[in-house]
Amino acid sequence: MEIPVEHKKMVLVRAGTVEDIPRGEGRCFTIQDRRIAIFHLEDGSFGAVDHDCPHRGGPLSDGIVGRDSVICPLHGWRIDLRTGVVIGQEGKSVKTYPVRIEQGEILLKVQG
C-alpha cells in the first residue's frame, strides 16, 4: 500500500563527499530514484534542487553557478538555489532539498 506523502518521514541520505563537487560547480546525484543537482557555492555552502529544468528539462547541474543561483545551460532560466524559484518566470520552480555537511559528507534531507 502506498504511504501518503504527508505521512512519510524525512530521512538524511548520504549523497557524496565535499570533494566530489569543486567550488562554483554542480553535480548530478541519483537519490531514491530522483535526479538531484547539488551545488557547491563560492561561499562554501551547498544547495540542492531537482536536476531537470522546469522549462524543457535542461541539466541544471551543468549550469552556470552564481552566488546563490544557477543558470540553465539550455535557454538561460535562472533558478534561486535557496527557494527553487525561477526568477522572472511566474509560477515556475523546482523542489529544493536541505543539505547538511557532516565530517566532509554531503547529507540530503529527503522523504523516506
Residues 6 or more apart whose CB falls under 8 angstroms from that of 35 comprise 28, 29, 50, 51, 52
Residue 83 CA to residue 99 CA, distance in Å, equals 13
Residue 74 in contact with ligand FES, rule: CB under 6 A: yes
Shortest gap between Cβ of 83 and ligand FES (angstroms)? 17
For ligand FES, the binding residue among 29, 39, 46, 77 (CB under 6 A) is 77
Binding of ligand FES by 75 (CB under 6 A)? yes
Total of residues contacting ligand FES (CB under 6 A): 10
The answer to whether 56 contacts ligand FES (rule: CB under 6 A) is: yes
Instruction: Closer to ligand FES by CB, 57 or 98: give it.
Output: 57
Shortest distance in whole angstroms from residue 50 CB to ligand FES: 12
- Cβ neighbors of 77 (< 8 A, separation 6 or more) are 53, 54, 55, 58, 71, 86, 87, 88, 89, 92
